[in-house]
Amino acid sequence: MTPGLIFFGTRSVTMSYKKGDYVCPDCGPTQYNWKRQRRFFTLYFIPLIPLDLLNEYVECQGCKSTWDTSILDSQGAIES
C-alpha cells in the first residue's frame, strides 16, 4: 500500500468583517468595508482552520483608500 499524497499548507484569506457608514477624510460621508486578512490552514487548497490574524484595515467604498481601523473609533462608527 502506498500512502496517498496529502496537500496541506497555509494561505492568507481576505474577508469582509463588517460594513457601515463613516466619514472619509478624503471623500466625506460614505461607507466603509472593514477587511481582515487571516492565515488559514489549508487541506487540498481549501481553507479549513483559521490561524493568526495578519492584517486588518478599513477600505473606503467611496475612494477606495485604506485606513487604519482606529479611524472608526475616532468618530463612533455607525454599525450596520
At 6, list the grid cell. Answer: 496529502
* Contact status: 46 vs Zn ion (CB under 5 A): no
Query: Closer CB to Zn ion, residue 12 or residue 26?
Result: 26
Q: By C-alpha distance, which of 57, 61, 56, 58 is closest to 27? A: 61
Spell 31-68 as b/e; 16+ CB within 10 A means b.
ebbbbbebbbebeeeebeeeeeeeeebbbbeeeeeebe
Residue of the chain from 63, 66, 68, 78 that contacts Zn ion (CB under 5 A)? 63
* Contact status: 23 vs Zn ion (CB under 5 A): no
> In the bound complex, what is the minimum distance in angstroms from residue 11's beta carbon to Zn ion?
29
Query: Closer CB to Zn ion, residue 22 or residue 38?
Result: 22
Residue of the chain from 27, 43, 53, 78 that contacts Zn ion (CB under 5 A)? 27
Site residues, Zn ion (CB under 5 A): 24, 26-27, 60, 62-63
